[in-house]
Amino acid sequence: MSEHGTPDDLKSLGERLDKARRDREAEAGRDGKVVGYREGAFGFAFRIGLDLVIPLVGGVGLGWLIDGWLGTRPWAMVVLFFLGAGAGMMNVYRAVMGLGSAVGYRPAERREERPTRENGARPLDEE
Partner 1 sequence: MAVAETSPLHQFTVESLVPIHVGTFNLSFSNSALFMVIAVALITAFLVLSTRGARLVPTRWQSLAELSYEFVAGMVRENVGHEGRPYFPFVFSIFMFVLFGNLISLIPGSFAFTAHIVVTFALALTVFIAVTLVGFIRHGFHFLSFFVPRGMPALMVPLMVPIEILSYLFRPISLSVRLFANMMAGHTMLLVFAGFILSLGVFGVLPLAIDVALILFEVLVAVLQAYVFAILTCLYFQDAIHLH
Give the separation between CA 39 and CA 47, rounded to whole angstroms.
10
Number of residues that bind partner 1 (CB under 8 A): 47
- For residue 12, state whether it binds partner 1 (rule: CB under 8 A): no
Give whole-number Cα distances, 49 to 31, 32, 33, 88, 98, in Å. Answer: 25, 22, 21, 9, 16
Q: Is 125 an interacting residue with respect to partner 1 (CB under 8 A)? A: yes
Nearer to partner 1, 59 or 77 (CB): 59
Q: Rounded CA gap, 121 and 112, in Å?
A: 14
Name the one range near partner 1 by CB under 8 A: 9-17, 66-74, 84-92.
Answer: 84-92
86 binds partner 1 (CB under 8 A): yes
Peptide bond before residue 74 is cis, with ω within 30 degrees of 0? yes
Stretch (H or E) spanning 124: none
Q: Tell me which residues touch partner 1 (CB under 8 A).
A: 24-26, 28-29, 32, 34-37, 39, 43, 46-47, 50-51, 54-55, 58-59, 62, 80, 83-84, 86-88, 90-91, 100-106, 108-109, 111, 114, 116-117, 121-125
